[in-house]
Structure 1
Amino acid sequence: MTSSKFRLIYRIVLIIFALVYGIMAYPDGWSRFALLIAVIAIFMTFEDVFMKKAKKQQRIAFVLIFALAFFLMFYVAFLA
């Protein structure tokens, strides 16, 4: 098993675990943190798989979408 395949499997397991825990125990503070981790892991996985051959405009769009999703989830998780 190559290291990139291991990272992909690890991230998918992390995403599934964080989403299941975050949704099952939503009102709790730790569940909000789990949802934030899931958002970060989803974007890391997407970047690792699809951004290898992306053009500059696609990379900029990805960074903007990631920043927007991260700060929105951070606001929901900790400030709302």
Structure 2
Amino acid sequence: MELTTAVPHARGATGRILRARDEASGRDIAIKLLSRDDPLWTRRLRREAEALQQLSHPNICPILEVGEYDGQPALLLPFIDGEP
């Protein structure tokens, strides 16, 4: 994905959310940066996210990519504007 500069959007228990735009598709993307710097926790979360990528259901937000953003573990998701 070719993302524009991400701006802070929210902070939660497991990390923070940035909002960016995917230039190729024109859609807004949420970048969930994981706050823990624990390799075991990061590997487990990455495995779970990769498993969730296989699911398709209207009530599950799809995970577009699992990887890193600015050197931090990250999940890329469609941005859904709403109340936390």
Shorter-chain TM range is 0.3 to 0.5
Q: Identify the structure with bigger relative contact order (alpha carbons < 8 Å, sequence gap 6+).
A: 1
Larger radius of gyration: 1
TM-score, scaled relative to structure 2: 0.34
TM-score, scaled relative to structure 1: 0.35
